[in-house]
Amino acid sequence: MIGVTDTEGDGAEWSFPAVPGAVRAARQAVRGALREWGLGGAVVDEAVLLVSELVTNSMRYTPGPVGVRVTHPRTAGGRAAALPGLVVEVSDPLPEAPTERTPGPDDESGRGLQLVARAARRWGTRRGKSGKTVWFELALPG
């Protein structure tokens, strides 16, 4: 069962159990929220791809649940928002930060963090009380 934590305002947050179909559900949830905010095109496709990679990685190494949070910066009163781009966070109970590795040419996995590093304007990890969060920021058009 997917736990919808929040989908109001400038952010959306979900919790996904480590079950078959969770990665697909995460992609659909993120795509739906971004479209609801009026975003489309490459930024949505990139966000969905990177969420898919990070949630897949979390599901591979942890028993779940995996949290996904998306924050959309908006302008308020004509001032620029505090966040310079779309910020996406994927959290799981494993405290160790993932490491970017160089897969062999025939490896079928191991490229998720490389995709994040190349597609995102910025990305990083942080430890929390009950695990870690991998986050990335995408530039918004305009």
Per the structure, the complete domain to which residue 35 belongs is given by 3-138
Give the model's pLDDT for residue 5: 54
* Mean pLDDT calculated for residue range 50-76: 88
Percent of the chain with pLDDT over 70: 83
Tell me the whole-structure pTM to 2 decimals. Answer: 0.86
| Angstrom distance (rounded) from CA 112 to CA 114 | 5
13 neighbors 5 (Cβ within 8 angstroms): yes
Could you report the per-residue pLDDT of 10-61, keeping only the tens digit for each? Answer: 789 999 999 989 999 999 999 999 999 889 999 999 999 999 999 999 999 8
Report the range of poorest mean pLDDT among 42-46, 61-65, 79-83, 114-118. Answer: 79-83
Give the model's pLDDT for residue 78: 42
Helices 41-61/112-119 angle, 10° precision: 150
Q: How many domains does the chain have?
A: 1
Residue 50's CATH number: 3.30.565.10
* Mean pLDDT calculated for residue range 65-84: 69
